[in-house]
Amino acid sequence: MGEIDAEFAKKDKAIMAAPGGHDQIAKEIGARAEKLPVVEMGESGPQPDPVKLQALQREQATRDRTRAAWELQQRAALYAQRKARSKELAASYAAWLKQNLGPINNQTVKLLDDSNTELAVTCEDELLGLSEGLAKYAQLATTDAAQYEKAYQNRMSSGIFGVPNRPIKTTN
């Protein structure tokens, strides 16, 4: 079970460290933002050109969204692999349990061998841990992608100064 987790963690780390990650995107956009021309903004003083800054922020939101979708796709495939391996492990445990402990029901009076019972409890505890880990992993991967999607939606719907774009109401 530990081997599955270690292999899984290594592969997930590789996905997240692949070139083009969110940190790299932020650094690239930040470097370009520092080079924007500065304009006088009245009481707030000199600021980077808001139109050009908004374009960079939208580019970052778009690139982050694309990256998050790629990460989610990769992590979903990794999740499916881990789930399959966990099922195989659970099946082999069930076969071991049947072979070593025999049929167990309410009428069983045979005392179980202490070492087998202890091993069974440990295995079941670890199988439950694998299952919980899979659920947490899926939740984290989905939440990460959803946050970037929300940031994208917010950025694309806001105007130059971060105020939401709203349709202008006209009267006839």
Average pLDDT, the chain: 84
- Say if residue 4 is exposed, middle or buried (CB neighbours under 10 Å; 0-12, 13-18, 19+): middle
pLDDT tens digits, 119-160:
777 778 888 888 888 899 999 999 999 999 999 999 999 876
Please give the Cα distance from 77 to 65 (Å, whole number): 19
- Which residues partner with 96 through β-bridges? none
Least Cα distance to 68 among 110, 20, 116 occurs for 20
Question: How do the domains of the chain map onto residue ranges?
Answer: 2-157
**Is the pTM for the entire model greater than 0.85?**
no
Q: What is the DSSP string of 35-77?
A: TSPEEE-GGG-EEE-HHHHHHHHHHHHHHHHHHHHHHHHHHHH
Please give the Cα distance from 70 to 16 (Å, whole number): 10
